[in-house]
């Protein structure tokens, strides 16, 4: 009995950002010469599944959604860009995104930070 293959359903992040070249991002993520721990962190950041206080509060695992450092809501964007070493972390992220996309870090626009909102 032949069964029809159902097409793969796009993941949440692909549906939220349909104009992004996801095939290229996934390909670069899997072929980047980085340790598995870094690849794992990138994967979680891309899928917006890092355990921020906002996420933990939403599922009742944290008392508050606020950052312990500054008191603002602890979102992925806040953690990667705004709080503490956020600018340094964004520059680091820009560099690694550039590596994945095989381009120069200056070609990664600062407004890509909004992707993490």
For the chain, which residues make up each domain, given as ranges?
21-116
**Which pLDDT belongs to residue 65?**
94
Angle at CA 78, nearest 5°, toward 105 and 85?
60
Coil, strand or helix at 85: coil
Cβ 8 vs Cβ 23: under 8 Å: no
C-alpha span between 72 and 1 (Å, rounded): 57
**Which pLDDT belongs to residue 117?**
46
Query: Does pLDDT of 37 surpass 50?
Result: yes
The whole model's pTM is what? 0.53
% of residues, the chain, pLDDT over 90? 12
């Amino acid at each position: 009995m032949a069964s029809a293959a159902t097409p793969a359903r796009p993941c949440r992040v692909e549906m939220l950002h349909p104009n992004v070249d996801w095939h290229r991002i996934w390909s670069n993520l899997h072929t980047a010469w980085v340790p598995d721990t870094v690849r794992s962190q990138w994967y979680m950041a891309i899928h917006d599944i890092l355990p921020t206080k906002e996420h933990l509060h939403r599922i009742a695992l944290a008392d508050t959604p606020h950052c312990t450092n500054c008191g603002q809501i602890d979102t992925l964007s806040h953690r990667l860009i705004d709080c503490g070493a956020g600018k340094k972390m964004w520059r680091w992220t820009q560099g690694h995104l550039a590596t994945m996309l095989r381009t120069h870090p200056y070609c990664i626009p600062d407004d890509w930070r909004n992707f993490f909102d």
